[in-house]
Structures are given as structure tokens and as C-alpha cells.
Amino acid sequence: MKRYDLRELNADFIDRLVEIMKTEIVEDENGIFLFEIGKFEPIQAVADIVKENKWTLMNSLKFNEVDWTVVIKKTEPTPDINVEKSTEE
């Protein structure tokens, strides 16, 4: 697990996040990324990039008033499991 502070890039951090995930994070490893949110659009952009690249978004949380932290695992997400609920008679 590696931590990256991308706050100095302001809203232009997405390209660097993708570069790190592709070149510095090995398969099945987590990357922790800290960035400034400003508006909410960067959060959706991260979720979109994670989905596009078939990684797993492990956690996403507001760190303080201006920063956001995401944990991304470099592995395909597991499919949703459809479990039928049994009904009691």
C-alpha cells in the first residue's frame, strides 16, 4: 500500500493518479490518494476512471474541509452477488 499526496495539482490530479496506478502500483496492491476537492466533480471523475480501468474503489472519504482521500485497489472488482432471500412460511 502506497500513499500519494496530489493536493499540489489542484483539480488537475486525474492524469497523475492514472499514471501512478498504471506504473507504480502493482496488481492487487492499494494506492491511497489525497487530493483537493474544490467542487464535487473530482470525486465523480475518480469513480469514472476507476470503473474505466477495471480497478476497485475501496474507500472514499472527506478528509477535512478541502481534502478528499480515496483508496484504489489495482484489481478488477468482484461481481455483485445476487442472493435470493428465502421466505419463511
What is the model's pLDDT at position 19?
A: 97
Burial class (CB in 10 A: 0-12, 13-18, 19+), 4: middle
pTM for this prediction? 0.82
Among 14-23, 49-58, 77-86, the least confident range? 77-86
What is the model's pLDDT at position 26?
A: 96
Domains of the chain are: 2-73 (3.30.110.40)
Extract the runs of DSSP E, i.e. beta strands, from the chain.
Answer: 2-5, 30-36, 56-62, 67-73
pLDDT in tens, 24-76: 999 999 999 999 887 778 888 999 999 999 999 999 888 788 889 999 999 98
Residue in the structure block whose three cell numbers are 474541509: 65
Confidence band, pLDDT 50/70/90 cuts, at residue 84: low
